[in-house]
């Protein structure tokens, strides 16, 4: 694991050099993936790394954990509260949909939640442009394979250093870095609505996804859920397609 950390830190430095940027930044949620990434970019760019905390009607325990992550890691940080921005934007869109008689209440929670992720992405790119930094994503192999991220939201980033690591490996790596125990041990959550946990929403567990990615046998029911998520999210793992040129 120490070699793996060194390998990723060196890769981050190289990508920074290739892009001719001064440093890198990441959104720090209080979850384990962003805690690990914050530690990795701090190692790669000790003086030019930034963690951004972006509450958006999030639970206060998440913000507490995010501050603990920042403190233990020692990375520079700033907070941008997106609650009012989200209320204004989602409110304006909803008002127009209602007026047109086209508001689809069945999808409202998901649309509301994905807007949060996309506002965070816009915030990170605004700061990245200001600082001449790259935006670093936190997706691990399990999230990437299942497409369990918001397209152009938390999936809208420049680099994905954890993309080859299973959730279990990310947790193991956290043990070698300055990540608070409370963050290592808590349930993974996108925090997109009250009480959301990744495993409840997906209907399977990270343990199952990790095993499936590694080619180990898992129950048929879990395999079906994971493969259906993988198929449905193929479009998120490639650039937007266009038609063949007209001959
Ligand atoms: N075949 C296709 N070809 C091209 N584009 C296609 C498409 N099918 C849908 N789309 C487009 O993609 C959109 C759906 O994708 P998307 O907007 O991502 O939305 P969707 O996949 O429906 O939802 C995002 C999921 O990721 C989870 N999430 C989000 C953020 C963070 C985390 C976390 O772990 O922290 C988890 C969230 O809880 C939810 O389950 C559609 O609205 C449509 O515009
Ligand atoms: N409140 C927040 N402030 C800053 N960034 C956030 C916030 N919420 C989500 N993010 C960003 O979105 C990413 C995706 O969230 P995700 O839940 O997958 O990761 P995590 O919270 O780091 O770990 P876990 O999956 O264990 O909860 C986070 O890693 C982080 O970069
Ligand atoms: Mg989370």
Distance from the alpha carbon of residue 143 to the mean position of ligand 3, in angstroms: 11
Global ipTM: 0.97
Q: Per the CATH hierarchy, to which homologous superfamily does domain 2-237 belong?
A: HUPs (3.40.50.620)
- Name the residue with the closest Cα to ligand 2, atom 19: 33
Question: Which pLDDT tens digit goes with each residue over 184-226?
Answer: 999 988 887 778 888 999 999 999 999 999 999 999 999 999 9
Ligand 1 atom nearest 191 alpha carbon = 35
The three-state secondary structure class of 232 is helix
Q: Whose CA is nearest to atom 44 of ligand 1?
A: 151
| pLDDT band with cut points at 50, 70 and 90 for residue 58 | confident
pLDDT at 230 over 90: yes
What is the C-alpha separation between 225 and 105, in angstroms, rounded? 25
As given in the structure block, the two tokens for residue 32 are 């384990």
Distance, in Å, from the CA atom of 52 to the CA atom of 127, rounded to the nearest integer, reads 9
Who has greater pLDDT, 194 or 177? 177
Phi then psi for 25, rounded to 5 degrees? -135, 160
Whole-number mean pLDDT of the chain? Answer: 96
Distance CA(166)–CA(125), nearest Å, equals 27
Q: Are 161 and 182 in contact (CB under 8 A)?
A: no
143 is in an annotated binding site: yes
pLDDT number for residue 50: 98
Of 156, 90, 86, which is closest to residue 128 (Cα–Cα)? 156
Residue 27 CA, distance from chain mean position:
8
Measured in residues, the chain has a length of 247
Counting from 1 in the atom list of ligand 2, the atom nearest the Cα of 198 is 25
How far, in Å, CA of 116 to CA of 194, rounded? 14
Q: What is the 3-state secondary structure (H, E, C) of 218-241?
A: CCHHHHHHHHHHHHHCHHHHCCCC
Q: For 15-37, what is the mean pLDDT?
A: 98
Question: For 110-123, how does the pLDDT look when each residue is reduced to its tens digit (9 = 90+)?
Answer: 999 999 999 999 99
Whether 135 is in the pocket of ligand 2, judged by its Cβ within 6 Å, is no
d(CA 197, CA 191): 7
In this prediction, residues 60-66 reach a mean pLDDT of: 89
DSSP 74-100: T-EEEE---HHHHHHHHHHHHHHHHHT
86 lines ligand 2 (CB under 6 A): no
**CA torsion through residues 172, 37, 66, 179, sign:** positive
What are 165's two structure tokens? 């690591």
Task: State pTM to two decimals.
Answer: 0.96
pLDDT score at 233 = 98
The answer to whether residues 161 and 136 touch, using CB atoms and an 8 Å cutoff, is yes
**Which three-class secondary structure state does DSSP give residue 102?**
coil
CA of 92 to the centre of ligand 1 (A): 22
């Amino acid at each position: 694991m120490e070699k793996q950390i060194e390998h990723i830190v060196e890769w981050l430095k190289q990508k920074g050099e290739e892009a001719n940027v001064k440093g890198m930044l990441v959104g720090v949620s209080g979850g384990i993936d962003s805690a690990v990434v914050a530690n990795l970019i701090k190692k790669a760019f000790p003086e030019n790394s930034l963690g951004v905390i972006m509450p958006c009607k999030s639970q206060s325990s998440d913000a507490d954990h995010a501050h603990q992550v920042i403190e233990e890691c020692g990375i520079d940080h700033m907070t941008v509260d997106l609650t009012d921005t989200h209320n204004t934007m989602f409110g304006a869109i909803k008002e127009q949909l209602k007026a047109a008689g086209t508001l689809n209440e069945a999808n409202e929670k998901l649309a509301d939640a994905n807007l949060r992720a996309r506002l965070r992405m816009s915030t990170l790119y605004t700061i990245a442009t200001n600082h001449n930094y790259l935006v670093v994503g936190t997706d691990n192999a399990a999230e990437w394979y299942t497409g369990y991220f918001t397209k152009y939201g938390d999936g809208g980033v420049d680099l994905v250093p954890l993309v080859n690591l299973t959730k279990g490996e990310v947790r193991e790596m956290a043990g070698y870095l300055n990540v608070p125990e409370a963050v290592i041990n808590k349930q993974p959550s996108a925090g997109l609505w009250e009480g959301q946990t990744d495993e409840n929403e997906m209907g399977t567990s990270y343990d199952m996804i990790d095993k499936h990615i590694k080619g180990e046998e898992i129950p048929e029911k879990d395999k079906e859920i994971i493969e259906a998520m993988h198929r449905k999210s193929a479009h998120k793992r490639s650039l937007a397609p266009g038609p063949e040129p007209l001959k």
